[in-house]
Amino acid sequence: MITIRSLHKSYGKHQILKDLHIDFLSGKVYGIVGANGAGKTTFFRCLAGLEKYEGHISADLYPLKEHIGYLPSEIYFLPKITGKEYLTLLIEARHKKVQNLKEQNIFDLPLDQYVSSYSTGMKKKLGILGVLLQNNSIYILDEPYNGLDFQSSLVLTDIIQRLRSKGKTIILSSHIFGSLEETCDSITLLQNGQFNVSATRENFSELKRQITEELLYKNLDDIFPL
C-alpha cells in the first residue's frame, strides 16, 4: 500500500501540485487523467523518487523507489546502445541476472540493433519490456499507450491485467480514456494541480462525461459556439 498525504510540489513560485491525498492498494490499477500541464508527470516523478516535494509518501515497501518500475512518457536512451544492452542495464539495476532475453522479447524487437534505429513505437515497446523484466512490485506508467500500434496496445492491456492478478500496483496515465476504462479499477482527475474527482469502474461513464464537459466543451465553445 502507498499512502500520500499533503503532497505539494513547486518550481520556484509556480505551484504544480497542491495538497494531494490518495491511497494506492496492491492488486489494483489506478488511472490518472488530466489536461496537458495538469501535473501528472510531476506527480509520477515525485512518487518515483525523482523529484523533491513537500508532504508525505509512505509505503509498505522500503525504500519505495527500489520497488518501482517507472516508464516516463518520453524515454531517454543512451547513444550507441543496443536494445539488449538497454534491457541488461535495467535488469542489473535491480540486482537481477539477465536470462532468456530472446524468449522474453514479447514484442519481437531487434535487440541486437542500436536503439537509435528504432521507430517511436519500437522505443516505447523496449521501455515497457525493460520495466517488466525488472519484476517490480509497483509500476508507474506515464502514457504507456502513446506510440503503440493496435496489436501492441492489446498486449499491454493484457499485461496490465496479469500484473494486477499477481498483486502488483499499477498507476498509469493516458489521453485515451478507453484504455483506462478497460484496465483501471479507479480513475482520478488531476486538474489545476489537485485531485478533483475519482470514480470506480461502475461510475466511469459519468466521470468521462464530466471530464468531457470540463476539459473539452468549454474550450470549443470559445471557437465554435453552438
Q: Which domain holds residue 168?
A: 2-73+140-223
Q: 43 in a domain, yes or no?
A: yes
pLDDT band at 213 (very low <50, low <70, confident <90, very high): confident
What radius of gyration, in Å, describes the C-alpha atoms of the chain? 18
pLDDT band at 6 (very low <50, low <70, confident <90, very high): very high
Q: How many domains does the chain have?
A: 1
Q: Which one has a higher pLDDT value, 140 or 36?
A: 140
Q: 82 in a domain, yes or no?
A: no
Q: 219 in a domain, yes or no?
A: yes
Q: 80 in a domain, yes or no?
A: no
CATH number at residue 161: 3.40.50.300
Residues 6+ apart with CB under 8 A from 65: 48, 49
Q: 134 in a domain, yes or no?
A: no
pLDDT number for residue 177: 86
DSSP string for residues in 172-195: EE-S-HHHHHHH-SEEEEEETTEE
Question: Cα-flanking dihedrals φ and ψ of residue 215, to 5°?
Answer: -100, -15
Q: 126 in a domain, yes or no?
A: no
Q: 16 in a domain, yes or no?
A: yes
Give per-residue pLDDT as tens, 152-190.
Answer: 999 999 999 999 999 999 999 988 888 899 999 999 999
In the chain, alpha helices (H): 40-47, 83-93, 101-104, 120-133, 150-165, 177-183, 204-212, 218-223
Query: Do 33 and 190 form a contact (C-beta atoms < 8 A)?
Result: yes
pLDDT number for residue 216: 62
